[in-house]
Amino acid sequence: MADDGSLIASATAEHQAFTSERTAWAEQDPADWWNACQQAVRSVLSQSGVQPGQIACIGLSGQMHGTVVLDNDGRVLRPSIIWCDQRGEEQCAWINQTLGARRLLDLTCNPALTNFTLIKLLWIREHEPHIWSQVRHVLLPKDYVRFCLSGEYAIDVAEASGTLLLDVTNRCWSQELLSEVDLDAALLPGVFESPEICARVTEQAAQLTGLAAGTPIVAGAGDQAAGAVGMGITRPGTVSAAIGTSGVVFAATDRPALDPKGRLHTFCHAIPGRWHVMGVTQAAGLSLRWLRDLFTVNAGTESWSYERMTEEAALAPPGADGALWGPYLMGERAPHMDPTIRAGLVGLTASHTRAHVIRAVMEGVAFSLRDSLTIFSELNVPVEKIRLGGGGARSPLWRQIQADVYGGAVEIIAAEEGAAFGAAILAGVGAGLWPGVDDACDQAIHAIEDIPCRPHIAKLMNERYREYQRLYPALRSLISQPGL
């Protein structure tokens, strides 16, 4: 990113999505992230023509909640249990019994969920004592990459909010919670505000990446907070709806806005002195990826592009002629907080086509995000403007579906790099290019398109949404035992 906030170059490097030994398990090898990081950094340096010594500061972002455990020498002890893993249901129950659900909300502003880092640590402690006895450091995914870059153990307050170990109100580790669950605070990294410089690139990392040794690194933020910064969601009123692998509806607040029912997450924002609330759909873009892979295998054809899928989905009418998708491939977070719920595609007839099914999946994801917007209204969190992000913002059809489902115009912004763009903004603030994150976003982020909702289609989507709200309890009633 240039000094004026414009994009100079971007690069990506792929790695394995995740492995799943058992139903609802999900793990990744942290070495894959670091290897991909090296490739992407070298590529972006090559594309841009920027000299390493010209880089003022580095920002970091990444998937939240993942658990990386290291020994005293910084060696990874086991694959990372990542954000969508659902194995920790018993550990959630134990915390609720030990502290009480209300007390946990008071301490951390959040309920016990299988996604959170603490739950994964408790699972390792119980089921892998031979590993646990060697654990000396705990990091999250982007912070492991920082460790590889700098040798420093650090985390930002926004990312730390998703561990279930942070006193979100006071922006520090909760010593009371650590005591209650018998965890040593020495395992945890130092906590910093997102634009704060907390590390520098080492000579070894410089050789691997092509960066200059000594380059400052800010604390950064998890993908959701950094993505919100990259979309200009810094002040109350503007809300983002981002469809990536998961889907997130995100609103900035000037106070911790606690949902007493625990349906939303209340986290520190990447902006000092601000917080945010968000609702998460576990399998948003993942639903479309699952469908793509399913059709590809069954058809024996070359892998489909998402563009091709959405072009076909546009052939089906709004409402998909009654087909309805409950996107619970990995359990669900907002608003149900149910790790054992399973997905469902219902309302099919012999006249339905593949186009109907694709469209039903896209609409079902939008309905799921609308659930969170409904809770925002209950909590008096203002929703004056909705900006779209992630892969769902790149598809013209999914943009229109969201406008019609949400019942109002949605905005598209110029930058498409999402969390990486937000991480670069945080780095710019850390380097002193802007006095604060608000100023940076005002200069660097611009809306380029409004997509209006179509009133006659919005009326149909309201009817379909009421049907969608009946789908979760119907699916819940079919699951007689946890884990089915």
Look at 17-21, 105-109, 187-191, 399-403 and tell me which has the smallest mean pLDDT: 17-21
Architecture of domain 27-220: 2-Layer Sandwich (3.30)
Cβ neighbours around 84 below 10 Å, total: 25
* CA neighbor of 144 nearest in space, from 156, 155, 158: 155
Active site residue 321: no
Residue count of the chain: 484
pLDDT digits (tens, 9 = 90+) for 127-186: 999 999 999 999 999 999 999 999 999 999 999 999 999 999 999 999 999 999 999 999
Task: State the DSSP H helix or E strand holding residue 158, giving kind and residue range, or none if neither.
Answer: helix 157-160
How much is the average pLDDT of 61-72?
A: 96
How much is the average pLDDT of 78-87?
A: 92
Q: Residue 359: phi, psi to the nearest 5? A: -65, -40
Contact indicator for 26, 286 with CB cutoff of 8 Å: no
Written as one string, the DSSP assignment of 259-302 is -TT--SEEEE-SSTT-EEEEEEESSSHHHHHHHHHHHHHHHT-P
How much is the average pLDDT of 376-382?
A: 90
How much is the average pLDDT of 352-367?
A: 98
pLDDT digits (tens, 9 = 90+) for 255-299: 898 888 889 999 999 999 999 999 999 999 999 999 998 877 555
Tokens read off for 115: 């996604």
Q: Where are the domains of the chain?
A: 27-220, 225-484
Pick 424 or 414 by higher pLDDT.
424
Contact indicator for 333, 280 with CB cutoff of 8 Å: yes
Q: What is the largest CA-CA distance in the chain?
A: 64
How much is the average pLDDT of 330-347?
A: 92
How much is the average pLDDT of 110-131?
A: 96
pLDDT value at residue 484? 46
How much is the average pLDDT of 209-235?
A: 95
Contact indicator for 30, 144 with CB cutoff of 8 Å: yes
Q: Does residue 236 have a cis peptide bond before it, meaning omega lies within 30 degrees of 0?
A: no
Contact indicator for 237, 245 with CB cutoff of 8 Å: no
Q: What is d(CA 122, CA 70) in angstroms, rounded to the nearest whole number?
A: 15
Q: What is d(CA 232, CA 227) in angstroms, rounded to the nearest whole number?
A: 9
pLDDT value at residue 84? 86
Fold of 225-484: Nucleotidyltransferase; domain 5 (3.30.420)
pTM: 0.87
Checking if the pLDDT of 51 tops 70, the result is: yes
Average pLDDT over the chain reads 93
Checking if the pLDDT of 386 tops 70, the result is: yes
Q: What is d(CA 378, CA 447) in angstroms, rounded to the nearest whole number?
A: 28
- Count how many Cα atoms sit within 13 Å of the Cα of residue 127 in the half-sphere of its side chain: 11
Q: What is d(CA 167, CA 180) in angstroms, rounded to the nearest whole number?
A: 14
Please pick, among 85, 156, 223, 259, the residue that the annotation labels catalytic: 223
